[in-house]
Amino acid sequence: MRSSLALGIAGGIITFIIGGIEFVFGTFVTAFGNAHGLEVIYLTGVSFLAGTMGIVGGAVGKKKGGIIMIIGRVLALIGAGVFGILGLVLLVVGGGLAFKEASLTKLRQEKI
């Protein structure tokens, strides 16, 4: 198993969990009459999108997957803020490793 795949899946799952917690919190805040809860629910959608991009980027791998994971990292930072730091770190490392896999694959093809 590629390390970028494992880190992409782990970062995506953690971002999904954080998004679920945000959704529950936003629902409670909205239910008790605070209009700012809707903003938290919108950010939950961004967190779910970031988690999806992390998993897809890990599955794609190489350069394209690294770019997708880095975009997911930015969305995780926007959607989850400070609470998404763990998912953010996993997506950064996974994206970097995906770029490294792309360069190693190119080197191997040139040697052959």
- pLDDT, tens digit (0-9, with 9 covering 90-100), for 20-45: 888 888 888 778 876 666 777 788 88
pTM of the complete model: 0.79
Q: Which of 10-24, 30-44, 55-69 has the lowest mean pLDDT?
A: 30-44
Nearest alpha carbon to residue 12 among 99, 62, 79, 82 = 79
More confident residue, 61 or 6: 6
**Residue 103: which domain range?**
3-111
Contact 63, 84 (CB under 8 A): no
- Quote the number of domains for the chain: 1
DSSP state of 47: H
